[in-house]
Amino acid sequence: MSSYLQVAEDEGEEPIELPSEDDGTLLLSTLAAQFPGTCGLKYRNPETKTMRGVRLVEGKLHAPDEGWDKHVYYCVFPKENKRKLDDHLENSTAKTKRMETKAKCSDLIILGLPWKTTEQQLREYFESFGEVLMAQVKKDPKTGQSKGFGFIRFANHDAQVRVMSQRHLIDGRWCDVKVPNSKEGQVHQVPCKVFVGRCTEDISADDLREYFSKFGEVTDVFIPKPFRAFAFVTFLDPEVAQTLCGEDHIIKQVSVHVSEASPKNDSSHRGGGGFGHMIRGGGGGGRGHDQKGFGGYQATGPGGNGMYQGGGGGGGGGVVGEEGLGGRGGNRGSLDMPNLQALGITGQGGGGGGGGGQNLTNPLGMGLNLGALPMNPALVAAALNQAGWGLIGNLQGGGGGGAGGGGGAPDGGGPAGGQAQGGQGGAPPPQPGFLNWMSQVGGGGAAGGGGGGPNPAQAQHQQAWQQRDKQQNFKYEKYD
């Protein structure tokens, strides 16, 4: 039996009533539909006068022991620095607005739908996020049986972003919403997921989550079953993922190797075109005390779009904070690549220089004469940023990052840096070296798009379907 609880954006604001679910929980999605951007709830404990957080597990907010109706609840938003970023983007200059309006909605695929979910239900579920232009459940034309996935399109890009940034509990199953493969290359995305090789069987998903949480919030852990000696770990912050790539880590006395997760549906596996040109810059400074700074770059990536993603600004020296990571839950978004363009940061330089850390030094020991460089200053800004030079101010009215980052946050700084559009590149991944890269960007013909592969046999589909629910249980039961 569903009942209503009172939620206000903040103390002093007028509460509205939100429906809880049959099991007494409040869905984070229900909350976010009324208070976009909310990541949790709190209430004032009358005894201690302090705020208490509401338990959040797998997108469900759980009532305090005394029940929902004893308190008025207040929304919790992401950390201050992130909030400011959002606000900044929303009010924003004409330029940013232009970028926002440029960001178009795309069809989104919803994977993992329950067989019974209808288009109507799908639409109703997603309407809480924004106007839905299209909702489809793909069905077998003969039997009418759902194929377990569907498509959705929003009118509003913000709604699309919100929907893609979390998992969705639809009719009791957790579903992923992604940009479909058919659109890959048209949407800029950033990998948040790393591959963890040389795992042993006694390293559990929880072990991985616990271990890697010290580097940043872990949003997903995937261990294929049966055991195959590897795993995937997804971070909220792509910069964290990038920083870890190439490293060996010891977990339960086992040396595991972290590397880039190659896209599941990589076009190269299907005879499609080649790789685009994507470079990722890491943040300047290290995050934790035991973290390396990140001055180099990785240079592989899914095909299609040449892009450069500026790293975060110079690193704050802070140790990865225990607070801020502590709360389990939140949206365990499963996105491999949260879409930063979608978040409105495309075209900006990297994030502001983080405060709090040691000063960045110019690794080449030379002055900067940006005007002398024969290329798009935005790219230069991105490149410099990538090289660890942190914020370069407003370049050509375009590239420069936003305001200097708030330093000293417990987790060592703001979210991942922005990205700057690079040349469309069919060029091969550049050889290591910053200058080398600079000489290569901007070249290149069209990248090969993803080729279509043969459809799996119907029998395989059937088998996959039968295993599906079991798999999901395996995947999620650990986090209850």
Partner DNA sequence: GTTGAGCGTT
**175/208 with CB nearer DNA:** 175
- Classify 110 as helix, strand or coil: strand
The pair of three-digit structure tokens given for residue 172, joined into one six-digit string: 């009791």
Any contact of residue 112 with DNA (CB under 7 A)?
yes
Q: Residues 179-218 vs DNA: string with x where CB under 7 A?
A: -xxxx---------x-x-xx--x-----------------
**133/403 with CB nearer DNA:** 133
**77/222 with CB nearer DNA:** 222
**28/231 with CB nearer DNA:** 231
- To DNA, the closest distance from the beta carbon of 416 in angstroms equals 18
Q: Alpha carbon 384 to chain centroid distance?
A: 24
Identify the DSSP state of 319. P
Distances (CA, A) of 358 to 314, 382, 393: 9, 21, 19
**182/439 with CB nearer DNA:** 182
Any contact of residue 115 with DNA (CB under 7 A)?
no
Any contact of residue 299 with DNA (CB under 7 A)?
no
Identify the DSSP state of 268. G
Q: Residues 144-183 vs DNA: string with x where CB under 7 A?
A: ---xxx-x-----------------------xx-x-xxxx
The pair of three-digit structure tokens given for residue 293, joined into one six-digit string: 């700074």
Residue of 358, 464, 473, 478 interacting with DNA (CB under 7 A): 464
- Whether residue 10 contacts residue 74, with contact meaning beta carbons closer than 8 Å, is answered with yes
**95/264 with CB nearer DNA:** 264
Residue of 26, 61, 109, 218 interacting with DNA (CB under 7 A): 109
* CA separation for the pair 7, 29 (Å, rounded): 14
Any contact of residue 263 with DNA (CB under 7 A)?
yes
| Pairing state between β 4-8 and 73-76 | parallel
Site for DNA in 398-457 (CB under 7 A): 452, 455-456
- To DNA, the closest distance from the beta carbon of 9 in angstroms equals 33
Residue of 70, 83, 98, 228 interacting with DNA (CB under 7 A): 228
CB neighbours of residue 183 within 10 Å = 15
Any contact of residue 470 with DNA (CB under 7 A)?
no
Residue of 115, 375, 472, 479 interacting with DNA (CB under 7 A): 472
- Classify 147 as helix, strand or coil: strand
SS (H, E, C) 336-383: CCCCCCCCCCECCCCCCCCCCCCCCCCCCCCCCCHHHCCCCHHHHHHH
Any contact of residue 77 with DNA (CB under 7 A)?
no
Distances (CA, A) of 361 to 288, 297, 384, 387: 19, 18, 12, 10
How open is the CA angle 85-91-95, to the nearest 5 degrees? 90
- To DNA, the closest distance from the beta carbon of 257 in angstroms equals 4
Q: Which stretch binds DNA (CB under 7 A): 205-213, 226-234, 349-357, 379-387?
A: 226-234
Q: Residues 304-343 vs DNA: string with x where CB under 7 A?
A: ------------------------------x-x-------
Q: Which long-range contacts (CB under 8 A, 24 or more apart) does 429-434 make?
A: 429/275, 429/277, 429/299, 429/300, 429/301, 430/277, 430/279, 430/299, 432/296, 432/297, 432/299, 434/383, 434/386, 434/387
* CA separation for the pair 392, 470 (Å, rounded): 51
Contacts to DNA by CB under 7 A: 107, 109, 111-112, 134, 136, 138, 141, 147-149, 151, 175-176, 178, 180-183, 193, 195, 197-198, 201, 222, 224, 226-230, 232, 257, 259-265, 334, 336, 452, 455-456, 464, 468, 471-472, 475
